Amino acid sequence: MAKPKPLVIVESPTKVKTINKILANKYKVVSSMGHLIDLPKSSLGVDIEHDFEPKLIIMRSKQKYLTQLKKDAKNRKEIYVATDPDREGEAIGWNLMNQIGDGKKVYRVTFQEITKDAVQRAFQNPRDFDVKLVNAQLARRILDRIVGYKISPLLWKKVGSRLSAGRVQSVALRLIVEREREIEQFIPQEYWQIHADVQKEGFPDILKANLEKIDNEKFELKSEQEAKQVIIDLENERFSVSNVIQKEVNRNPTPPYITSTMQQDAFYKLGFNANKTMQIAQELYEGIEMQDETVGLITYMRTDSVNISQEALEMVRKFIHRTYGEKYLPETPNKYKSKKSAQQAHEAIRPANVFKRPEEIRKYLKEDQYKLYELIWRRFVGSQMTPAVFLQKRIEIQAGKYLFSAAGSVIVFDGFLCLKMDNQSQEDEVPIDLSHFAKDDLLKLLGINPSQHFTKPPPRYSEATLVKALEEDGIGRPSTYASIISTLVYRNYVIRDRGYFSATELGMTICDLLVEYFAQVMDIGFTAQMEENLDLVEEGELDYVKLLRDFYVPFNKELAYAMEKIKKTHNYVDQKCPDCGRQMVIKWGRRGKFLSCSGFPKCKYAQAISSGIDCPQEGCDGKLVERRSRGGKTFYGCSKFPDCTFTCSELPKSEKDA
C-alpha cells in the first residue's frame, strides 16, 4: 500500500489548483474555505472573569468542511499549513490544527508570492506556528467582540433594533460625520484674483501672469470694489521683467505599493472602490491560468511594508537595464522606509515576475485584472528607476507696487516617467515657452482680468482619501480598510455616491451617541494606540491578556454609566397600526427609517415612510418611499410594491421643489 501523501491546507479553493501544480502532485492540497472556528454568534463567547478566555466553536456553516478535512488528514503523518502569511492566516491554521493535528507532524509554511521558486523554498524551510501572531489576532477579535456585543444592545434601546457598533468602524464613522458637519457649517468667503495678459514686443505669445504680491506682501482682495481699485492702479503702471529664475528639479519615483496606496491609486486612476481592488488583487495573487500553467502574478496584497526581497531587486534592475538602458538605472537600488508599525517580514505589492509585462500577458487577463496588474507593475518598475528631471523657469513682472509671476516647466529627462500609463492624467505643468524673456524686458499690457471666487468647504471623503486618513491616523490595518468601508455602507451609516461618502441621519445619530457615552472607544488617538499595542503583542513585548484587561476596565465603567443613563425611547407618530390599532412609532433599521407598530414583537406590522409624493405610474395611487439597495445606494420606489414596480434614483423635480 502506497504511503499517503503529506496534506497541505490553504485558505481558498483558488489556491489549491495553483499550488498543486507547483508541488507536482507530491502532496494532497486542500482548502479550509477560510475560518472554520470562531466565537459564537449567539453570545459574547468571552469569559471576561477568567483572563478573557475565548469560547471558540466550529462554525455551523463550515462543519462540512471540517468533517472533510478530518477525513483528508486521517491517515497522514504530516500536515503543512499554507494559509495566508499574516495574523489572520496564522490564527486560521492554529485553530484548525487544534482540531485535526493531534498526533501528526505539523509544519507552517508561508510565501509572499505563489510562484514555483517561492513555494518550493517555503516547503524546504518550514517553521513552527508563531503563537505571538495568533495572540495578536485573538486579542483583536476579542476586542471587537466585546465592543460590538456590549454596545449594540444600547443602540437597540435608544435608536433601533438590529443596529450595531464596531470598534474600528465607529471611529471611521466619526471621521465621516465630523467632515459632514464641517461642510454643513461652512460659510463661503468671497475673494478675488487678478491676472494680466502681457506680451513682449516682436513675439506673438501672450503670457498670462498672476498677481502675487502688493508692496512685497501677500494680499487678500475680498470684494469687487477692492479688485477694481487694483485695476485702476495697474492701468497706469509700466510692466517689466524684474527677475528670471531658472533651475533643474528632480522628481523622484514613489515607493512600490502597499495596500493603502494601491487602493488610493486604483480609485483615482481606475475608478475601483477598495473592495473591488482587493478582490482583483486576490485573484492576481492566487493565480491566473496562462497556457498550461496557473501563475500567481503579484505578491501578497495585504501589507504595509515597502520592503523588496533581494531576489526581486536584482530581477527588476536586470529588467530595467536590459529594456530601458543604463541611464534609467540608478547606480545603487532606491531604498524606501516603511512605517514604524509595518510588518517587516512582509514585502511590498509587486509583480511576482517583472519580466511578465502587462501587454504581453493581457490576453490571459480580464480587463480589470489587466488594469490593476499594469498599475502594480509600472509602480514597482518605476520605483527602481532614475528620477525625472524638469527645467523650471519663473518670470517675475513688476508693475509699480504690484508683483506678477508666470511659471512653466519642460521635461529634460523623463526617467521613471517613461512608464506613465496611457490612462493616467497629465500631472506635469503644461509646457510654457519662457525662453525669450530676460530681466528688464518691457512688456505690453493687453488686458487685466479680475475673477471672483469663493472659498470651498472641505471635500467629502472619497474611497481614496478615507483610506489615506485611516492609515495616517493609525486606524485599522491593511487587511481591514476595505471591510471598514463596506460595513459602514451596509449598515446605512454612510452613503457612497460615485465613490464619495456622506453620513446618513442614522450614522450621525449613532456617532453622537457613541461619542457622548464611549469617549475612549471613539477617540482616534486611543484607537491608534490600540493598534500599536496589538503590534507589541505580535512582537512578544506585551501580554495580550494585559492589553485586554487595560482596555476593559475603563470601558466597563463607560458601559455601566451608559446603561444607567440611556433610557428606552419611542418616537411616536400620529398614526394607528392598521392591524391592531396601537400607535405607530419611527424606528431605525439597517435600510433607514421606517414606521413600526409600538406593539412589536406581538404585532409585527411595519411600513416604509412615505415621501408624500404620488407615484408617477399611470393608474397607481401609491406614494414614493425611500429605499436602499443591497449595495447601499438610495432610490425611491412605490409603496404599492410588488403590485407597482416603479423606481427612480431621485424624487421628481417638479414635485420635490414644490
| CA atoms of 315 and 575, how far apart (whole Å) | 73
CA distance 315 to 180: 47
Q: How far is CA 96 from the centre of its chain?
A: 30
Please, which residues bridge with residue 626 across strands?
636
Look up cell 521613471; give the residue: 416
Is 285 known to be catalytic? Answer: no
CA Rg value for the chain: 31
Sign of CA dihedral 574, 575, 581, 585: negative
Residue 319 · residue 381 · CB < 8 Å: yes
Q: What is the DSSP letter of 619?
A: T
Contact 36, 66 (CB under 8 A): yes
| Residues shown for the chain | 658
All 3 cell numbers of residue 427?
500631472
Selected catalytic residue, list 27, 107, 257, 300: 300
Q: Are 209 and 406 in contact (CB under 8 A)?
A: yes
Contact 114, 19 (CB under 8 A): yes
State the cell numbers at 570: 419611542
Interior/surface letters 532-556, b for 16+ CB within 10 angstroms, e for the rest: ebbbebbeeebebeebbeebbeebe
Hey, how many other C-beta atoms are within 10 angstroms of the C-beta on 295? 21
Residue 146 in grid coordinates: 466585546
Which 3-state string (H, E, C) describes 434-463?
CCCCCCCCEEEEEEEEEEEEECCCCCCCEH
Count CA atoms within 13 Å of residue 39 on its CB side.
22
Residue 268 carries which DSSP code? I
d(CA 195, CA 282): 51
d(CA 403, CA 418): 37
| Residue listed under C-alpha cell 490612462 | 423
| Alpha carbons 476 and 498: distance in angstroms, whole number | 24
Active site residues: 300
